[in-house]
């Protein structure tokens, strides 16, 4: 049984490395020009403390509008993640972390190093019709 589990885990690890290598190879084959080092710092909006182990997803798009794949990173204990070799052009950055709203924004990579600071917010409260609310400012019906 242990052999089967070890073989299965080895196959999953190998497949992950193949996918990662294929994505890195696709980025390296970009003939549109230079590349950049992208550094992302993820902090809490409320107090500026780092958000460790947040998922950072980079989606670069070349000048022709063609997707170059995606790279998934995790922030370290200081809320930092970095990736070298990002081609110049547009890149969409998404950040996901448990207990925070998902962040997404587009950036233009046009210098040798791009530093991005992301301030994650906690989810907003939801309005419930089952709770008693102050009737002086009731929610409006959609038009």
Q: State mean pLDDT over 24-50.
A: 80
Q: Is the pTM of this model over 0.85?
A: no
21, containing H or E segment: helix 2-28
Range of the domain at 66: 2-120
Tell which wins on pLDDT, 118 or 128: 118
Both tokens of residue 58? Answer: 């980079």
Q: Is residue 128 part of a domain?
A: no
User: What pLDDT score was predicted for residue 52?
Assistant: 97
Q: Is residue 45 part of a domain?
A: yes
User: What pLDDT score was predicted for residue 141?
Assistant: 59
Q: For tokens 């709203």, name the residue.
A: 101
Q: Is residue 61 part of a domain?
A: yes
Q: Is residue 133 part of a domain?
A: no
Cα(94)–Cα(78) distance, rounded to whole angstroms? 18
Q: Is residue 84 part of a domain?
A: yes
CATH of the domain at 25: 2.60.40.10
Q: Is residue 139 part of a domain?
A: no
Q: Is residue 126 part of a domain?
A: no
| pLDDT of 17 over the 50 cut | no
Q: Is residue 129 part of a domain?
A: no
Number of domains in the chain: 1
Q: State mean pLDDT over 74-103.
A: 94
Q: State mean pLDDT over 17-40.
A: 63
3-state secondary structure of 14: helix
Residue 51: which of 83, 18, 16, 76 has the closest Cα?
76
User: What pLDDT score was predicted for residue 3?
Assistant: 66
3-state secondary structure of 66: coil
Number of neighbours of residue 87 by Cβ within 10 angstroms:
22
Q: State mean pLDDT over 107-120.
A: 95
């Amino acid at each position: 049984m242990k052999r089967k589990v070890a073989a299965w885990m080895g196959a999953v690890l190998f497949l992950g490395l193949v996918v990662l290598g294929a994505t890195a190879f696709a980025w390296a084959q970009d003939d549109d020009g230079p590349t950049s080092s992208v550094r992302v710092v993820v902090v809490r909006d409320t107090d500026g403390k780092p958000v460790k182990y947040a998922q950072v997803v980079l989606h670069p798009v070349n000048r022709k509008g063609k997707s170059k794949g995606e790279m998934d990173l995790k922030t370290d204990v200081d809320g930092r993640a970095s990736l070298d070799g990002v081609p110049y052009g547009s890149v969409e950055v998404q950040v996901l972390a448990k207990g925070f709203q998902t962040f997404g924004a587009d950036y233009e990579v046009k210098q040798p190093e791009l530093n991005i600071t992301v301030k994650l917010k906690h989810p907003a409260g939801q309005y419930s019709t089952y709770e008693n609310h102050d009737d002086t400012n009731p929610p409006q019906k959609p038009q």
